[in-house]
Homo-oligomer: A and B are copies of this chain.
């Protein structure tokens, strides 16, 4: 904030406008893609597991910012679909090691690539400049949301 109490830049209430944006886009994405093979949370977890290598449920829960019981259910759904495997940790039998299967990698790739027909179409319809803005913002926001 500046001395005057106004946000330093980006116009007033950037945080509020980002929140409105994310709520609306999230619902729009969900409603347009309700019947995807993988839900948004499944894709997100699978993506993290693929990106950061084998993880324990605890680690994945921290990564996805959900509580352990939530992760237990998410893991069960992914394992049930054959997208991940659960092995017992070789040195600590309390822990599990989660790995993405080949089917999981494939499902993830397909989901990420084909997700949101409308979103891809909408993005393709944007002027080049707007698309570049969104691309850059995705990087910024992922850093912001991840840290």
Contact surface of A with B, Cβ cutoff 8 Å: 1, 7-11, 13-29, 31, 40-41, 43-44, 47, 64-66, 111-113, 115-116, 119-120, 122-124, 126, 128, 130-138, 140-142, 144-147
Contact = CB atoms under 8 A, between A and B. Distances in A.
B25 A145 contact: yes
24 contacts: A1-B124, A7-B123, A8-B131, A10-B134, A11-B135, A14-B120, A14-B134, A16-B113, A18-B25, A19-B43, A19-B119, A20-B112, A21-B141, A22-B25, A22-B26, A22-B29, A24-B142, A25-B141, A26-B26, A27-B65, A31-B65, A122-B144, A130-B140, A134-B141
A48 to B, nearest CB: 9
A19 B116 CA distance: 8
* A interface: dominant SS: helix
Please tell me how many copies of the chain the complex holds: 2
A21 B47 CA distance: 12
